[in-house]
A and B are shown apart, each in its own frame.
Chain A
Amino acid sequence: MRAEMLAVLFILGGFVPLIDADFVLRVLTTEDGVLTGRFPDSLLLSLPPCNYSGQSVDLEYLNVNTNEYKTLSNIFTVNCTNGISTAGSAALSRNLGYQVTNLTNGTEYKFHYKIGATNSSYVLATTRRVFDYNGIDEGLPARSGAMVVITVILSLAMFFLLICLILSTVMSTS
């Protein structure tokens, strides 16, 4: 009985971010037709749904590490009829998403749209960390079966032939 109540509470709790929100915001993934939504210095966010067509959108985001708020006003206008946007961004002109640029790598951000009085849900996203290529270990990964078989069998064959050659020379002179 208690376990079921707990389960229901957890499920209801999952909807908390949406309570104040009118539509969902998320980072783009491969299902949206892009290679990735997370770059080291930018992120691709999904667009608001078409019922907000014609309205201009603001984006507010928080850098979780430094606790800095930033607001980008009037970044684009929701447009569902054709693919041309006012902001000129590549992702927008294809109705794919909005690319937030000038981010720092390896940092967590919290985004949400504001369209007039309505807010989207919050999304937590981290930009990619950039690793140094000098850290890639290029040593021998493993010895393959081919290497072992060829080396062992040929070495034995060489040795055996040498012995037989010496023996046949010795045997025929005696």
Chain B
Amino acid sequence: MASGGGMTWLMIILIICNAFASAAGLALFALAIWVAVDGYRLYPISGVSGKDDIFAGAWIAIFTGFAYFCTTIFGIYAALKKRRSLMLAYLIIMFIIFIFECASCITAATNRDYLVGNSNLVKKQMLRYYAENSDKGAQITNTWNRVMQDVQCCGADSALDWIEYNSTFRQTYGTTYPWPLNCCKRLSSFEVADPEGCKIGQSSTMFTTGCFNYIESVFSRYTWAVSWYGFSVQMFVFFLLLIAMVYYTQLG
């Protein structure tokens, strides 16, 4: 229907954009694998609270990223072949993948706000599950012990969380130690440097800053990877699909 020259240009644009989208889809696939692998090992904090949809979004994005990669390569083939049936199949499959990827972006962004919008959920979880004798308790205790030592922090907002609130730790171990020993500075031999100083809260012997900033930054990093990068891929695919629909209507 359209002039031959115009159609050729449209086909070339479509092929180039599809190639770019396949690269973007592969990058989304890789990024979502990075989130799902959870190199910072903070999954228990979201898993125990039941709000782990950042990782669910990452799993969906693994699927959609790879599916975008494969389907856009098929789209290059369909554009070259100039067959309406192939282009229609391409459009329908891309639209289904688009819907799934939208779900992933929205879920990840929303769940981040539930989990680390402020420090309340993380603090309450820490006070309830740290030192608790259960499976959830073991996961939270191990995670917090590692975070407190690696990041050199104590408590959610500060070490005062341990004395301002009742906690499973205080009920189990009494008030001899106001906070866990992982809040204390250690020597390279892993012994506590100064247990007596740590007990009374001497600032030079323990970590006084809170861990919530670190936890929030890690979850935000995961979320921005899945939701904002996914969003930018979606915007590109949106315009790609509009061009493909124009090409489809001009075919045959």
| Interchain CB contact under 8 A, B164 and A93 | no
Q: A41-B175, A150-B231, A165-B245 are in contact. Are A90 and B120 (CB under 8 A)?
A: no
Q: Is the CB of A39 closer than 8 A to any CB of chain B?
A: yes
| Interchain CB contact under 8 A, B105 and A90 | no
Q: Which of A28-36, A46-54, A70-78, A110-118 contacts B (4 or more CB under 8 A)?
A: A28-36
| Interchain CB contact under 8 A, B202 and A33 | yes
Q: Is the CB of B102 closer than 8 A to any CB of chain A?
A: yes
Q: A44-B200, A151-B109, A165-B95 are in contact. Are A128 and B227 (CB under 8 A)?
A: no
Q: A128-B163, A138-B124, A153-B231 are in contact. Are A34 and B202 (CB under 8 A)?
A: yes
Report how far A136 CA is from B120 CA in the complex, Å: 6
| Interchain CB contact under 8 A, B160 and A35 | yes
Q: Is the CB of A157 closer than 8 A to any CB of chain B?
A: yes
Q: Is the CB of B38 closer than 8 A to any CB of chain A?
A: no
Q: Is the CB of B167 closer than 8 A to any CB of chain A?
A: yes
Q: Is the CB of B217 closer than 8 A to any CB of chain A?
A: no
| Interchain CB contact under 8 A, B160 and A36 | yes
Q: Is the CB of A11 closer than 8 A to any CB of chain B?
A: no
Q: Chain A nearest CB: distance from B24 CB in Å? A: 16
| Interchain CB contact under 8 A, B165 and A161 | no
Contact check: which of A35, A136, A155, A158 meets B208 at CB < 8 Å?
A: A35
Q: How many B residues touch A, CB cutoff 8 Å?
A: 57
| Interchain CB contact under 8 A, B196 and A93 | yes
Which residues on B sit within 8 Å (CB–CB) of A147?
Answer: 106, 109-110, 112-113
Where chain B touches its partner, the secondary structure class is helix
Task: Kindly list 20 other residue pairs between chains A and B, CB separation below 8 angstroms, not including A35-B208, A39-B201, A138-B120.
Answer: A33-B203, A33-B204, A34-B203, A35-B159, A36-B160, A36-B163, A39-B163, A44-B200, A128-B164, A131-B164, A136-B165, A147-B109, A147-B112, A150-B228, A154-B234, A158-B98, A161-B241, A161-B242, A165-B241, A168-B248
CB-defined A-B contacts under 8 Å, sample of 27: A34-B200, A34-B201, A44-B200, A99-B200, A130-B163, A130-B165, A131-B164, A136-B165, A138-B121, A138-B124, A140-B117, A144-B112, A146-B228, A147-B110, A150-B106, A151-B106, A153-B235, A154-B106, A157-B238, A158-B98, A160-B238, A161-B95, A164-B241, A165-B92, A165-B241, A172-B84, A172-B252
Residues of B at the A interface (CB closer than 8 Å) are 84, 88, 91-92, 95, 98-99, 102, 105-106, 109-110, 112-114, 117-118, 120-121, 123-124, 127-128, 159-160, 163-167, 175, 178, 196-197, 199-204, 206, 208, 223, 227-228, 231, 234-235, 238, 241-242, 245-246, 248-249, 251-252
